[in-house]
Amino acid sequence: IAPSIRERSIVLVGLMGSGKSTIGRRLAQRLKMPFADADDEIEHAAGMTISDIFARFGEAHFRDGERRVIARLLAGRPHVLATGGGAFINDETRALILKDSLCIWLDADISTLVERVGRRSHRPLLKDRDPGEVLRELAAVRNPIYAEAHIRVSSASNPHEHTVRAILEALA
Ligand code: S3P
């Protein structure tokens, strides 16, 4: 891995269930970089869960907080950063990520994503909906946008270690 890789943040984008948080944490360990999870940072900053933010203030408010949290993390020292699935879809947030990081799309097929999010999800977008149906709809809209990421890596193969290795190879 070239030392210059650690000079900017590495941002993981992709749909719910693509493994952003798990893979990001392991990648950070390998690269000896700090790790941050944007969803956790938002919950911490707001003092409430993402479900509560959606329920009480709505998605637009959440997207605004998400953009501010990601801007703050990208302005600090380089991190490996896992984002929530919708972050990169927001035009302003995507522009920030593309400008200030090396960003990687973790791409997986719908059945793998469904398996990983499970039948009961804490995620507000999956609440009371069939996860497969939601993920198919989101993939149709979002995949062309995720494709703007600098690098695309398949995260469909298990275990996640395979994907971590594929990312390290792509960075080498
Ligand atoms: C969202 C994905 C979630 C979380 C929020 C909205 C989305 O993150 O940010 O529920 O719009 O796809 P994960 O991708 O980590 O599940």
Q: How remote is the CA of residue 92 from the centroid of ligand 1, in Å? A: 17
For 89-144, give the secondary structure using H, E and C. HCHHHHHHHHHHEEEEEEECCHHHHHHHHCCCCCCHHHCCCCHHHHHHHHHHHHHH
| Dist CA 54 CA 155 (whole Å) | 28
Is 18 annotated to bind ligand?
yes
Angle of helix 110-117 relative to helix 131-146, nearest 10 degrees?
Answer: 120
Query: Residues 110-149: pLDDT tens digits?
Result: 999 999 998 667 899 999 899 999 999 999 999 999 999 9
> What number does the ligand 1 atom closest to the CA of 51 have?
10
* Ligand 1 cavity residues, CB under 6 Å: 16, 20, 39, 50, 84-86, 123-125
Range(s) of the domain holding residue 94: 3-171
The amino acid at 72: R
Whether residue 170 is predicted with pLDDT greater than 90 in this model: the reply is yes
Q: How remote is the CA of residue 85 from the centroid of ligand 1, in Å? A: 4
Which CATH number do you get for residue 61? 3.40.50.300
Full-model pTM: 0.96
- Residue ID of nearest Cα to ligand 1 atom 11: 86
Q: How remote is the CA of residue 11 from the centroid of ligand 1, in Å? A: 15
Query: Residues 16-67: pLDDT tens digits?
Result: 999 999 999 999 999 999 999 999 999 999 999 999 999 999 999 999 999 9
pLDDT at position 48: 96
Given the cut 0.95, state whether the ipTM is greater than it.
Answer: yes
- Residue ID of nearest Cα to ligand 1 atom 8: 84
The total domain count for the chain is: 1
